Structure 1
Amino acid sequence: MDRTQERTAEQELPYNVFARACPSRGTLEHVTGRWGALTLGALHEGPLRFNELRRRVDGVSEKMLSQTLHALERDGLVDREAQPTNPPRVDYELTPLGRGVAERLLALIHFVEGEMDGVLSARDRYDAIRGTR
């Protein structure tokens, strides 16, 4: 597809993430932020309770995970199911939309993981040239 065809295809979409006021920009931030991407990736493995999810996404605080889950639920990517048990049990799982997003994120995550030797070499070269580290 050449540049003209790309522009035409972009103009046909009802949303444009490159436009400042487009609501898709917020969803993209929720999905591609550090905790959003990791949360979606973890939930791709199956439903998890809050503390299971917190353990799986190593390093996330309780507050940050809660905020992330609320944003992903609001965007329709995650379902929250509270069960009336004692103590209360809340499970989180991906919606069909969330599953599609998570699959695409995991492809990117696996690609990056597979290329880390090259990334680390590039960092070393950069640091050697710039005298940083």
Structure 2
Amino acid sequence: MFDFPHGRAVLTYGTFDGLGPAQSDLLRQLSRLGTELIVGCSTDAFARSKGQTPIMPYADRRRLLESCRFVSRVIAEDDWNQKRTDIVNYDVCVFAMGSDWTGRFDDLGDVTEVRYITQPARALAPRQRRTG
């Protein structure tokens, strides 16, 4: 459906507070979908607007992600509506989120391939899990 001659950039977003083995496994899985993994890390203000209170400040979470060998680039996530612009600006061919977001970003399917990745519950920090 989409033709990406310059490589396959993959984009995902999250708060990534307390990056552990399960989240590292998720990032490894996402990195295998393309040639570059771009991670949008929620800023402190945006995390608070989502009802989250990160233990680690944004700068530390960003540094942790940048040190992960599966991550090519980290960008700030500070708005729900930036995803479409980021997809276009970074030539993203796959937008991937955890399966707990299934259906939430289907509207982006007109500009990129949207995938929802099944992940174990332990991949989400307890304060990030959604119920219902």
Structure having the larger proportion of residues in helix: 1
Does TM-score exceed 0.5, indicating one fold? no
TM interval, short-chain normalised: under 0.3
TM-score, structure 1 as length reference: 0.26
Could you say which structure has the greater relative contact order, defined with CA pairs below 8 angstroms and 6 or more residues apart? 2
Higher-Rg member (1/2) = 1
